[in-house]
A = this chain, B = another copy of it.
Amino acid sequence: MTSTNKKKAVVLLSGGIDSSTTLAIAKAEGFDCYALSFDYAQRHRRELESAKKVARALGVKKHLIISFDLREIGGSALTDQQISVPKDRAPEADNLIPVTYVPARNTIFLSFALSWAEVLQAENIFIGANQVDYSGYPDCRPEYLKAFEQMANLATKVSVEGRIHFQIRAPLINLTKAEIIKKGLSLGLDYSLTWSCYDPTSEGKPCLSCDSCRFRLKGFEEAGAKDPLLGV
Protein backbone atom coordinates (compact mmCIF):
# COMPACT_ATOMS: atom_id res chain seq x y z
CA MET A 1 0.00 0.00 0.00
CA THR A 2 1.50 3.31 -1.00
CA SER A 3 1.48 6.22 1.37
CA THR A 4 -1.16 8.11 -0.58
CA ASN A 5 -3.61 5.23 -0.27
CA LYS A 6 -3.18 4.94 3.46
CA LYS A 7 -6.02 5.90 5.71
CA LYS A 8 -5.51 8.86 7.97
CA ALA A 9 -5.87 9.04 11.73
CA VAL A 10 -5.72 11.95 14.15
CA VAL A 11 -3.89 10.89 17.32
CA LEU A 12 -3.98 12.89 20.55
CA LEU A 13 -0.41 13.02 21.84
CA SER A 14 0.57 14.43 25.23
CA GLY A 15 4.04 12.89 25.25
CA GLY A 16 3.29 10.46 28.08
CA ILE A 17 3.30 6.67 28.03
CA ASP A 18 -0.33 6.17 27.10
CA SER A 19 -0.63 8.57 24.18
CA SER A 20 2.81 7.63 22.82
CA THR A 21 1.89 3.94 22.91
CA THR A 22 -1.42 4.77 21.23
CA LEU A 23 0.44 6.53 18.43
CA ALA A 24 2.68 3.46 18.01
CA ILE A 25 -0.44 1.28 17.77
CA ALA A 26 -2.10 3.54 15.18
CA LYS A 27 1.08 3.50 13.13
CA ALA A 28 1.30 -0.30 13.41
CA GLU A 29 -2.29 -0.51 12.14
CA GLY A 30 -1.08 1.20 8.98
CA PHE A 31 -2.51 4.68 9.45
CA ASP A 32 -0.94 7.88 8.25
CA CYS A 33 -0.86 9.62 11.60
CA TYR A 34 -1.57 13.28 12.35
CA ALA A 35 -0.50 14.00 15.91
CA LEU A 36 -2.29 16.67 17.92
CA SER A 37 -0.93 18.19 21.12
CA PHE A 38 -2.01 21.10 23.29
CA ASP A 39 -0.15 23.82 25.07
CA TYR A 40 -2.90 24.67 27.56
CA ALA A 41 -0.55 26.40 30.00
CA GLN A 42 -0.12 23.11 31.83
CA ARG A 43 2.49 23.55 34.52
CA HIS A 44 4.24 20.34 33.40
CA ARG A 45 4.65 21.76 29.90
CA ARG A 46 7.86 19.83 29.55
CA GLU A 47 5.66 17.01 28.21
CA LEU A 48 5.35 18.94 24.93
CA GLU A 49 9.06 18.47 24.24
CA SER A 50 8.48 14.75 24.64
CA ALA A 51 5.47 14.91 22.34
CA LYS A 52 7.65 16.49 19.65
CA LYS A 53 10.33 13.82 20.04
CA VAL A 54 7.82 10.96 19.93
CA ALA A 55 6.01 12.45 16.90
CA ARG A 56 9.33 12.76 15.05
CA ALA A 57 10.51 9.27 16.04
CA LEU A 58 7.27 7.70 14.85
CA GLY A 59 7.22 9.60 11.56
CA VAL A 60 3.88 11.34 11.78
CA LYS A 61 2.66 13.20 8.70
CA LYS A 62 2.16 16.34 10.72
CA HIS A 63 2.34 17.38 14.36
CA LEU A 64 0.08 20.24 15.33
CA ILE A 65 0.30 21.95 18.72
CA ILE A 66 -2.70 24.12 19.53
CA SER A 67 -2.30 26.75 22.24
CA PHE A 68 -4.88 28.16 24.60
CA ASP A 69 -4.80 29.13 28.23
CA LEU A 70 -6.83 26.95 30.58
CA ARG A 71 -5.55 28.95 33.55
CA GLU A 72 -8.30 31.43 32.72
CA ILE A 73 -10.82 28.70 33.50
CA GLY A 74 -8.82 27.18 36.35
CA GLY A 75 -10.03 24.45 38.67
CA SER A 76 -7.06 22.05 38.41
CA ALA A 77 -3.70 21.47 40.04
CA LEU A 78 -2.28 21.02 36.54
CA THR A 79 -3.02 24.62 35.55
CA ASP A 80 -3.51 26.54 38.79
CA GLN A 81 -0.42 27.41 40.80
CA GLN A 82 -2.62 27.82 43.88
CA ILE A 83 -3.41 24.09 43.93
CA SER A 84 -0.56 21.72 44.77
CA VAL A 85 0.12 18.62 42.73
CA PRO A 86 -0.55 15.81 45.26
CA LYS A 87 2.32 13.56 46.24
CA ASP A 88 2.15 10.05 47.68
CA ARG A 89 -1.64 9.94 47.78
CA ALA A 90 -3.03 7.38 50.21
CA PRO A 91 -4.43 4.21 48.62
CA GLU A 92 -7.92 4.94 49.98
CA ALA A 93 -7.86 8.15 47.97
CA ASP A 94 -7.76 6.13 44.77
CA ASN A 95 -11.53 6.12 44.50
CA LEU A 96 -11.71 9.90 44.45
CA ILE A 97 -11.20 12.08 41.43
CA PRO A 98 -8.03 14.01 42.33
CA VAL A 99 -7.27 17.73 41.97
CA THR A 100 -5.13 16.99 38.93
CA TYR A 101 -8.39 16.47 37.04
CA VAL A 102 -8.72 19.26 34.44
CA PRO A 103 -12.39 20.16 33.87
CA ALA A 104 -13.61 18.76 30.54
CA ARG A 105 -10.06 18.43 29.23
CA ASN A 106 -10.58 15.39 27.06
CA THR A 107 -13.76 16.93 25.67
CA ILE A 108 -11.82 20.02 24.62
CA PHE A 109 -8.99 17.90 23.19
CA LEU A 110 -11.32 15.57 21.28
CA SER A 111 -13.26 18.55 19.91
CA PHE A 112 -10.16 19.98 18.28
CA ALA A 113 -9.27 16.48 17.06
CA LEU A 114 -12.73 16.22 15.51
CA SER A 115 -12.30 19.55 13.76
CA TRP A 116 -8.96 18.50 12.28
CA ALA A 117 -10.27 15.04 11.42
CA GLU A 118 -13.10 16.61 9.46
CA VAL A 119 -10.70 18.77 7.44
CA LEU A 120 -8.37 15.79 6.85
CA GLN A 121 -11.31 13.42 6.23
CA ALA A 122 -9.76 11.12 8.81
CA GLU A 123 -12.31 8.66 10.11
CA ASN A 124 -10.31 7.48 13.12
CA ILE A 125 -9.45 9.57 16.16
CA PHE A 126 -7.12 7.87 18.63
CA ILE A 127 -6.94 8.72 22.31
CA GLY A 128 -4.80 7.06 24.99
CA ALA A 129 -7.60 6.91 27.57
CA ASN A 130 -7.64 3.92 29.86
CA GLN A 131 -9.74 2.98 32.83
CA VAL A 132 -7.47 0.57 34.69
CA ASP A 133 -4.31 2.16 36.09
CA TYR A 134 -5.57 5.71 35.86
CA SER A 135 -6.59 8.52 38.14
CA GLY A 136 -10.36 8.07 38.03
CA TYR A 137 -10.97 10.83 35.53
CA PRO A 138 -14.58 10.62 34.24
CA ASP A 139 -13.53 11.45 30.68
CA CYS A 140 -11.41 8.28 30.42
CA ARG A 141 -14.37 5.88 30.63
CA PRO A 142 -15.77 3.95 27.65
CA GLU A 143 -19.31 5.28 28.18
CA TYR A 144 -17.98 8.81 27.89
CA LEU A 145 -16.02 8.01 24.74
CA LYS A 146 -19.05 6.34 23.17
CA ALA A 147 -21.18 9.41 23.93
CA PHE A 148 -18.53 11.66 22.39
CA GLU A 149 -18.51 9.51 19.26
CA GLN A 150 -22.29 9.72 18.93
CA MET A 151 -22.20 13.50 19.35
CA ALA A 152 -19.32 13.80 16.87
CA ASN A 153 -21.27 12.08 14.14
CA LEU A 154 -24.13 14.55 14.57
CA ALA A 155 -21.79 17.54 14.72
CA THR A 156 -19.98 17.72 11.42
CA LYS A 157 -20.65 18.35 7.77
CA VAL A 158 -18.82 15.23 6.55
CA SER A 159 -20.67 12.94 8.96
CA VAL A 160 -24.20 14.31 8.45
CA GLU A 161 -23.60 14.11 4.71
CA GLY A 162 -22.76 10.44 5.23
CA ARG A 163 -19.21 10.64 3.87
CA ILE A 164 -17.44 9.82 7.13
CA HIS A 165 -18.45 7.91 10.24
CA PHE A 166 -16.07 9.03 12.96
CA GLN A 167 -14.69 6.47 15.35
CA ILE A 168 -13.14 7.36 18.67
CA ARG A 169 -10.48 4.68 19.14
CA ALA A 170 -9.14 3.99 22.62
CA PRO A 171 -6.99 0.87 22.19
CA LEU A 172 -5.64 1.07 25.76
CA ILE A 173 -9.03 1.36 27.45
CA ASN A 174 -8.88 -2.00 29.23
CA LEU A 175 -5.11 -2.45 29.59
CA THR A 176 -3.09 -2.10 32.78
CA LYS A 177 -0.10 0.21 32.71
CA ALA A 178 2.16 -2.87 32.56
CA GLU A 179 0.28 -4.23 29.55
CA ILE A 180 0.51 -0.83 27.85
CA ILE A 181 4.27 -0.71 28.38
CA LYS A 182 4.71 -4.28 27.11
CA LYS A 183 2.67 -3.41 24.04
CA GLY A 184 4.78 -0.32 23.36
CA LEU A 185 8.04 -2.20 23.85
CA SER A 186 6.87 -4.90 21.44
CA LEU A 187 6.28 -2.16 18.86
CA GLY A 188 9.78 -0.78 19.40
CA LEU A 189 8.67 2.39 21.18
CA ASP A 190 11.52 4.18 22.95
CA TYR A 191 10.08 5.26 26.30
CA SER A 192 13.09 7.44 27.01
CA LEU A 193 11.40 9.97 24.71
CA THR A 194 8.26 10.13 26.86
CA TRP A 195 7.44 12.16 29.97
CA SER A 196 4.86 11.51 32.66
CA CYS A 197 5.62 13.61 35.74
CA TYR A 198 3.01 16.18 36.75
CA ASP A 199 5.33 18.12 39.04
CA PRO A 200 6.29 21.45 37.45
CA THR A 201 9.33 21.75 39.72
CA SER A 202 10.89 18.45 38.64
CA GLU A 203 13.62 19.61 36.32
CA GLY A 204 14.71 16.91 33.97
CA LYS A 205 14.02 14.22 36.55
CA PRO A 206 10.59 12.77 37.36
CA CYS A 207 9.53 13.39 40.98
CA LEU A 208 8.52 9.71 41.41
CA SER A 209 5.77 10.58 43.90
CA CYS A 210 2.95 12.26 41.94
CA ASP A 211 0.12 9.98 40.74
CA SER A 212 1.46 9.94 37.22
CA CYS A 213 4.99 8.95 38.29
CA ARG A 214 3.62 6.28 40.62
CA PHE A 215 1.54 4.66 37.87
CA ARG A 216 4.59 4.72 35.62
CA LEU A 217 6.88 3.17 38.24
CA LYS A 218 4.37 0.43 39.04
CA GLY A 219 3.80 -0.20 35.32
CA PHE A 220 7.45 -0.71 34.46
CA GLU A 221 7.91 -2.84 37.56
CA GLU A 222 4.97 -5.12 36.71
CA ALA A 223 6.07 -5.28 33.07
CA GLY A 224 9.46 -6.52 34.27
CA ALA A 225 11.11 -3.71 32.36
CA LYS A 226 13.37 -0.83 33.24
CA ASP A 227 12.19 2.75 32.78
CA PRO A 228 14.88 4.36 30.58
CA LEU A 229 14.10 7.73 32.20
CA LEU A 230 15.50 6.49 35.49
CA GLY A 231 19.05 6.08 34.18
CA VAL A 232 21.33 3.17 35.00
Complex Cα–Cα for A114 and B108 (A): 9
Residues A143 and B154 in contact, CB atoms below 8 Å apart:
yes
Whether a CB of chain B sits under 8 angstroms from the CB of A118 is yes
Shortest CB distance A87–B (Å): 21
Contact A104 B108 (CB under 8 A): no
A114 to B69, CA, bound (A): 15
Inter-chain contacts of A110 with B (CB < 8 A): 111
Whether A150 sits at the interface, judged by CB under 8 Å, is yes
In the complex, how many angstroms separate the beta carbon of A11 from the nearest chain B beta carbon? 15
**B118 pairs with A114, CB closer than 8 A:** no
Contact B148 A160 (CB under 8 A): no
How many Å lie between the Cα of A43 and that of B175 in the bound state?
45
Which of B64, B101, B115, B161 is in CB contact (< 8 Å) with A105?
B115
Residue A220 interfacial (CB < 8 Å): no
Q: With A66-B68, A138-B160 given, is the CB distance from A152 to B107 under 8 Å?
A: yes
A156 is an interface residue with CB less than 8 A from chain B: yes
Interface residues of A in 122-149 (CB under 8 A from B): 137-139, 141, 143-144, 147-148
Contact partners of A116 in chain B: CB under 8 A: 73, 103
Q: Which of B70, B72, B148, B159 makes the CB contact (< 8 A) with A151?
A: B148
Q: Determine whether A57 belongs to the interface, using a CB cutoff of 8 Å to chain B.
A: no
A66-B69, A66-B72, A73-B112 known; A155-B106 Cβ under 8 A: yes
- Whether A59 is near chain B, meaning CB under 8 Å from some CB there, is no
Add 15 more A-B contacts to A66-B73, A70-B115 (CB < 8 A): A64-B72, A66-B69, A68-B68, A74-B119, A75-B115, A75-B118, A75-B119, A97-B157, A104-B155, A108-B108, A138-B156, A147-B150, A147-B151, A147-B154, A150-B150
* 11 intermolecular pairs with C-beta atoms under 8 Å apart: A66-B68, A103-B115, A104-B114, A104-B152, A104-B156, A107-B114, A111-B111, A143-B154, A144-B151, A147-B151, A147-B155
